[in-house]
Amino acid sequence: MTQGRTQISNQLEAELGRIDPDAFADDLKPGTQLLGGHYTIEGFLNSGGFGITYLAKDSLDRTVVIKECFPNALCRRSTSLVRARSRKHQGDFRSFVDSFLAEAKSLARLVHPNIVGVHQVFEDNDTAYMAIDYIDGRDLHDILDSTDQAFTPEQVVTMLKRMLSAVEFIHQVGILHRDISPDNILVDKANNPILIDFGAASEQVVRATRVLTGRRVIKEGYSPQEFYLSGAEQSPASDLYSLGATFYHVIAGQAPPESQRRLARVAEGEPDPYVPLAGRFPGYAPGFLEAIDKAVRVMPRDRIQSAGDWLDWIRIGEEGGPLPSALTAEPPKPRTRPVTHYVPAPRGGLLQDYMGYVVGAGAVFLIAGAAALWSALS
């Protein structure tokens, strides 16, 4: 336990050394108690547009992770209490908290060895919290940053199978994760991957006709094109794109090109700048690399459509069976037209535009133009 605490302390110091100390002025301070003293905050872990994550101890002195509902565009901290930024934000903030509670309760019912466990969901400080497993390990992003070749092909295959099993599980119960990336996969001491941070998840996902709006997270290199446009249809294939891009990074040492840039190049009739994995890396069974390449195709219709299909194709390749033609077929050429409204996405972090929020009339017209392009290519 002492070693685990030291590791967390070192990680915290390293993280805090890379960020502006004023960037997270709204975090709860060490020693703050929640739920009548059942949990005690030990330190800040990280922050995103939807919440703040802490290391904590429960009343039995067990280490846990606490995720606080804190949509920073809608709320602010007043002592320990979380308040809407203004009267006009009160309704949206309360709706966000209610959504956080409902989805956290759904996640608490998910029991899978490769999905972080949710122990408790509760309200305090006029917002909502969830207590989740503390995983003694490192996130995949840190691992990939620290070495050129973090895993052997055998380890990569095992990890991807386990992640596909986890993703298939959440899709079967109607949940999209919507933020799969190396920083949201923890790897424990036994190289077992754990999918974490369901802060952007939604249950409105699996019906192909349903258009998902609301919270969106954009991560360059890992987010599919449809995540960049408010109101664009999202599906299990969207999560599979992110998972494929993550394992592309694991194998190739870098993330694939940003999906919006890829779409713009293809729409202009130019080659996709994506460099396939297939044929470049030895040690993998037939079809394994081809499946990742298919998962990260630009157009949703050209991707692998379910985690179950992906697992089946891996199994077929390992058993030496004939590979499905869908794995090796080239995607159809898109209908092209002059690109007049392509909008490069903000580079890096979060698009804080949930619940239809768009800043500035000019942005509305630009996004509408990008949406028109997406519709024409789909």
Residues 236 and 372 in one domain: yes
Question: What does the pLDDT profile of the chain (378 residues) look like in tens digits?
Answer: 434 434 444 443 443 344 344 445 689 999 999 999 999 999 999 887 788 999 999 999 999 999 999 998 999 998 889 999 999 999 999 999 998 898 888 888 889 999 999 999 999 999 999 999 999 999 999 999 987 678 999 999 999 999 999 999 999 988 889 889 999 999 999 999 999 887 666 654 333 323 334 455 788 999 999 988 877 888 999 999 999 999 999 999 999 999 999 999 999 999 999 999 999 999 999 999 999 999 999 999 999 999 999 999 999 999 998 888 777 677 666 554 443 333 333 333 333 332 222 233 333 333 334 444 444 444
Question: Is residue 85 domain-shared with residue 186, that is, in the same domain?
Answer: no
Show the tokens assigned to 119: 């122990």
> Of the residues 133, 164, 181, which one is the last residue of a structural domain?
133
Burial label for 25, CB within 10 Å (0-12, 13-18, 19+), is exposed
Residue 192 burial by Cβ neighbours in a 10 Å radius (0-12, 13-18, 19+) = middle
Whether residues 242 and 362 fall in one domain: yes
Residue 113's identity, in one-letter code, is P
Q: Tokens standing for 331? A: 């995607």
Domain boundary among 97, 114, 133: 133
pLDDT at residue number 99 = 86
Question: Do 145 and 278 have their domain in common?
Answer: yes
Choose one of 133, 150, 167: the last residue of a domain.
Answer: 133
The pLDDT value recorded for residue 308 is 95
pLDDT at site 21: 42
**CB 345, CB 228: distance < 8 Å:** yes
Task: Name the CA dihedral angle for 242, 111, 102, 227, rounded to a multiple of 10 degrees.
Answer: 0
pLDDT of residue 372: 43
| Lookup: tokens for 70 | 């804190």
- Residue 44: what pLDDT? 95
CB-based contacts of 73-76 (< 8 A; 24+ apart in sequence): 73/49, 73/352, 73/354, 73/357, 75/127, 76/26
The predicted pLDDT at position 48 comes to 77
Can you give the CATH number for the domain in which 60 is found? 3.30.200.20
* Residue found under tokens 């503390």: 134
Q: Are residues 309 and 162 in the same domain?
A: yes
- Split into its structural domains, the chain has a count of 2
| 146 and 193 fall within a common domain | yes
| Block residue for tokens 């044929």 | 279
92 in Cβ contact with 355 (< 8 Å): yes
Please tell me the predicted confidence (pLDDT) of residue 213.
40
Q: What is the Cα–Cα distance from 135 to 121, expressed in whole angstroms? A: 18
Contact 55, 65 (CB under 8 A): yes
Q: Which positions ≥6 away from 35 have C-beta within 8 Å?
A: 120, 122, 124, 129
Q: Torsion over CA of 262, 302, 215 and 371, rounded to 10 degrees?
A: 60
Indicate if 74 and 110 belong to the same structural domain: yes
Q: How far apart are CA 336 and CA 238, in angstroms?
A: 23
Range of the domain at 150: 137-377
Q: Are residues 79 and 116 in the same domain?
A: yes
Q: pTM of the full predicted structure?
A: 0.75
pLDDT of residue 214: 46
55 and 168 housed in the same domain: no
